[in-house]
Structure 1
Amino acid sequence: MRLEARNVSKRYAREAWLFRQASAAFRTGDTVGLLGPSGCGKSTFCRLLAGYDACDEGEVLLDGATLPTSGYRPVQLIFQHPERAVNPRWKAGAIISEGWRPDEALLDSLEIRREWLKRWPSELSGGELQRLCIARALAPQTRFFIADEMTTMLDAITQARIWRTVLDLAQSRGMGMLVVSHDRHLIDRICTRVIDFRELAYGRHAVEE
């Protein structure tokens, strides 16, 4: 399966273009790193890829078709700040099972304590909420998993465990991954290909899978 951003552009209101005519393609089974300085548009680009925002120009295609807008989304995005990605009026158990019901093995591998599921988001730490968001996004229907600085609020040992879980699942399912991080060591260690977003931002370089 192929996920493609074709000449996509984005700006907010009448402000200057954040990026313009950016193109990149990704295939299931690949783990691609995305690098670039803060504020260059990486997170917005990820939102376009996942269908959270609309392109002002260009299009995002999944196997040549537009992204589905109903049902479970095959392109899942994990945000850096999990509190912005959950419904504060839902308890954690409802949040984690919004699209599917994660099994016990996955909960254990992400070190999710069962008592968390009875709590409100405001009663959980950012790291605890992030683990719930990761589990929620790892349904069998997920074909592309986009991680936007998803473990920056966690300690190094927990980061390593979570990445091992996600990478093992991606490999066993043939899931594609896009990893956004300022941690070049992490990118070099887990990714098979690296994109510098500054080379995409104004169509200077189209990256193919």
Structure 2
Amino acid sequence: MKKWLLFCLLYIPLLGVLFIYRNEIMDWSQNNASYTNLTILTTVFAIFPVLPFKLIIALLGYAFGPVMGGMVSWLGTMISSLITYGVFRWLLRDTGDSYLKKIPGLKGLTIMMQEQTFSAVLLARMIPIIPQMAVNVYAGTAGLPFWSYMIASGLGRLPSIALYAYAGKNAAEHPLATLTIFIIYVLLLVLAFVSYRKRLKQIQEVEDGS
């Protein structure tokens, strides 16, 4: 309980400060652009979601190009995943378990992660409707294999980050190319979602038969 209270006392004020000064922070990032500064910025915004992260990716892609914008967005999300994993594995395990129980529809994904960590995390990262913070919290709370979790997270995030970073820079100038990439991304999402639903159905059938 004391750990949870300390976490709230640290997290909530920081979240409020970042929300109040979010515009100033984005202006600062443009005037002090470097891989290090932008990676720190994206890590902070991934942990403290005062702005939609897809918007952050698009803004970085627009301001610094799809390569630099996409790279620092990817690194930021990976570092945030690592931090969240560590916090909930070693400091807030009970709190993480309570948080996960409040999220509807997570039971099937939980079973998938326990049985097939790599493929389950990979699918979860690709499907937008699955809360990404919930994946991070579960990975730490359940003590999922670290490297399977991190590699699957890195691969699963690549398509969406590449899309939003490219669109942020090129949507206005190259709408047809952007639309083509978006269609390919949607097809990947459909395949990922179908695989996810199929696996959930198999899990449900096993539970009903047991």
Q: TM (normalized to structure 2)?
A: 0.30
Higher relative CO (Cα under 8 Å, sequence separation at least 6) belongs to 1
Which structure has the greater CA radius of gyration?
A: 2
Q: TM (normalized to structure 1)?
A: 0.31
